[in-house]
Chain A
Amino acid sequence: MREALEGSQAIARAVALCDPDVIAAYPITPQTHIVENISKLVAEGDLHTEFVSVESEFSAASVALGAAATGARAYTATASQGVLLMAEVLFNIAGMRLPMVMTVANRAVSAPLSIWNDHADSMAVRDAGWIQLHATSNQEAVDTTIQAFRITQDTELPVMVCMDGFILTHTLEPIDLPSHEDVRAWLPPLEFDRKLDPADPKSMGMLVTPDFFPEVRHSHHSAMQKALATIEQADADFESAFGRASGGLLTVEGDPEAKIGLVAMGSTVGTMRAGMAHFQAEAGPARLINLRAYRPFPSQALRDAVRGLDHLIVIDRAISPGLGGILGSEVAAVLSSAPDAPRILNVALGLGGRDIPETLYPDLLAAVRDPDAPAFSVFDADLKKLAPEDR
C-alpha cells in the first residue's frame, strides 16, 4: 500500500516484512530513526524478532555475525564511524561467507566531524567482500532491502544496502510497502547449510595457512562475480512479482545517441535526472548511468552502457586523498580495456553533505567541453575559502 513515509520508517517496516530472526544495532546519526522504528515495531508486537540493543557497533556486527552463523536471518544498520568500528567484523562476516543484510545510512567520516552525507563510510569497507547496492530513492531502498535478503541467501555473501543519510533517510515521500503475505511468498525461508549445530560441531573462521589462503580469496572473488547474475535475477523476479524494478546492476537513461554520459550512485542520480530534464535545451543531449551495484562491480555492463560516448563524467561522493575519486578511478580501470573508451572527467560532489543543486548539471557538461578541466577535482569546492598554500 502506498503511504507517505519517512525513509527510515519505511526501511524499518521493510526489514520487518522480511521476518528477521535477530537484529542487533547501535544508534548513530543518520541511521538512528531506522533502529528507533524497529525497536518500536518490536515493542508494539508488530515484529517478532530477537532485538539486541548493544553497546557499540563492534558488538552489533558481532552479534549479527554469531546469529547468521547459527542459520538465523540477521540484520543490522549503521553509518559513518559505526561502519569503521564494525570494519574488522565486516571482513569476518564476508570472509566466513555468512548471509546477512545491513543498511548503511551513508555519512561522511571524521575528522573533521560531519554528520552529513557522503559515501566515505561504505567506500572505506569496499574491499571487505560485501555486496554493496545503492538506492536512488526510498522506494528503491525498501525494495532493495527485501531483495537483499534473497540475494544474501542465494549467494552466501553479506549484502550492504547503501542509502544516502538524511537525503533519503530523513525524507518523507510516497512509498509502496508490499504486504507481508506477498513478501513471504517471494522470499523463501533461510536455509543455511553450514550453520553451527551442536549435533554436528564445526568451527568457522579458523586459521588458514598459505596452502589454502589464495584459494579462499579466489573463491570469494569468484562468488562475487557470480553474484552479478543473482542481483540482476533478484531484481527481475521482484519486478515480476511487485511490478517495479530497482535498477538491476545499473540503468541507462537519456539520449542513446548522446556523446556525453554521466555515472552516479545513490540520490545524486535523481538530482542529475532532474537537471537533465530541466537543462536539456542549453546543456545538450546526455546519457545518465545509475550504478546500483558497486560491489560486485558490473564491469561488462558498464562497458556496454558507455558504448558510443566521447566523454564520461563520473560523480564520486567520496575521495581517496592522493589518488582522486574512488569510483572515477575504478571506472577508468574498467574502461581501459574497452575499445574507443570515453575520456573521463571525474568529479567529487556533495562531500560532507554539501548540497548538490540541479544547476550543477549544466556546469558539469560545460566542464567536459573545457580542454583545461582537470581530470579530477572536488568540483563544488570553493578554493577561495582556502589559504593559497592549501589550494
Chain B
Amino acid sequence: MIGDMIETRIHGRGGQGNVAAAYLLAAAAFEAGRYCQAFPAFGAERRGAPVAAFVRIDATPIHLRSQIRTPDYLVVQDDTLLLDPKITAGLKADGAMLVNSTRSGEEIGAHFDCRAFSVDATALAVAEIGRPIPNTALLAALLTLTGEFPLDALAAALKKRFHGAVLEKNMALIEHAADAAPKGLWARETVDA
C-alpha cells in the first residue's frame, strides 16, 4: 500500500476544462477508495488565460487546505504554457510532468531538467469526441504512467459526470489515451503496510 500523499498540479488555459480535470482525478481517486481533495487556483475566470488547479490524494483524511507548492506530478494541458519557465516551480526531484504536446517528452524533460512525457491529447480528443478538450485523455495517460490506481476508477468517475454519447466517447478516449502511455513508467516504490 502506498502511504504518502500524492499532490498534482494541473496547468491549462481557461476553457480547457482545468477544474473539471482536477475534479475528475479526485473523483477517480475516490472511486478507488482513496481520500481526495481538488480545487482551482481561484482567479477571475477568463477564457484563454493561464489557470491552475490542484489535486491531493491520500490513504488517510486530508486536512491541509493550502495550494500545492511541491507537486509530485504536473499535468500541462497546453504546451504554450511551457514558455513560462516557472511552470515547473516546486516540482519534486522525483516528480514528473505530463504535457499535452506534439513535442517529445525527452525534449521537454531536457529543457526543464525533469522527467517528462508527452501525449497529443488534443488530437486524441478531436478524433474521439470531436472537440479539442484534452483533459480526460491526459488523466488516462497519467493513471497509466503512475499506476496509482486503475483506469476503471476514472471510468467510474466519468460515469457519474457524463451520460449518453458524451460518456461513450470519453470512455473510448481514455482507452486510446491509456494505450499511448507506457504502463508504470512513473510507478513509485510501494511501501508495505
Chain B nearest CB, measured from A190 CB (Å) = 34
Pick the most buried of B19, B23, B36, B64: most chain A CB atoms within 10 A of its CB: B64
The answer to whether residues A172 and B38 also contact, given A4-B26, A4-B30 and a CB cut-off of 8 A, is yes
The answer to whether residues A173 and B42 also contact, given A4-B27, A270-B65, A358-B66 and a CB cut-off of 8 A, is no
Q: Which residue of A lies closest to B30 (CB)?
A: A4
| A273 within 8 Å of B (CB atoms) | yes
- Contact between chains at A274 and B67 (CB < 8 Å): no
Residues of B near A109 (CB, < 8 A) are none
- Contact between chains at A172 and B69 (CB < 8 Å): no
The size class of the interface chain B forms with chain A is 20 to 34
The answer to whether residues A355 and B67 also contact, given A116-B42, A166-B39, A171-B37 and a CB cut-off of 8 A, is yes
Chain A nearest CB, measured from B56 CB (Å) = 9
Chain A nearest CB, measured from B12 CB (Å) = 16
Q: Which residue of A lies closest to B67 (CB)?
A: A355
| B185 within 8 Å of A (CB atoms) | no
A73-95 residues with Cβ-Cβ distance < 8 A to B are: none
Residues of B near A164 (CB, < 8 A) are 65
Chain B nearest CB, measured from A186 CB (Å) = 24
- Contact between chains at A358 and B30 (CB < 8 Å): no
Interface size on A, residues (CB 8 A): 26
- Contact between chains at A357 and B66 (CB < 8 Å): yes
Q: Which residue of A lies closest to B42 (CB)?
A: A166
Q: Which residue of A lies closest to B29 (CB)?
A: A4
B30-87 residues with Cβ-Cβ distance < 8 A to A are: 30-31, 35-40, 42, 44, 62-67, 69
Residues of B near A36 (CB, < 8 A) are none
Residues of A near B44 (CB, < 8 A) are 115
Contact of A358 among B23, B27, B42, B64 (CB under 8 A): B64
- CB-CB contacts of A111-145 with B at 8 A, as 1s and 0s? 00001100000000000000000000000000000
Residues of B within 8 A of A (CB): 19, 22-23, 26-27, 30-31, 35-40, 42, 44, 62-67, 69, 157
Which 10 residue pairs across A and B have the least CB separation, nearest first?
A: A274-B64, A4-B30, A270-B63, A171-B39, A4-B27, A166-B42, A273-B63, A357-B66, A172-B38, A274-B63
Known A-B contacts: A4-B27, A4-B157. Give 8 more (CB < 8 A): A4-B26, A115-B42, A167-B65, A170-B39, A172-B37, A173-B35, A174-B35, A356-B65
Residues of A within 8 A of B (CB): 3-4, 6, 30, 115-116, 164, 166-167, 170-174, 267-268, 270-271, 273-274, 277, 353, 355-358
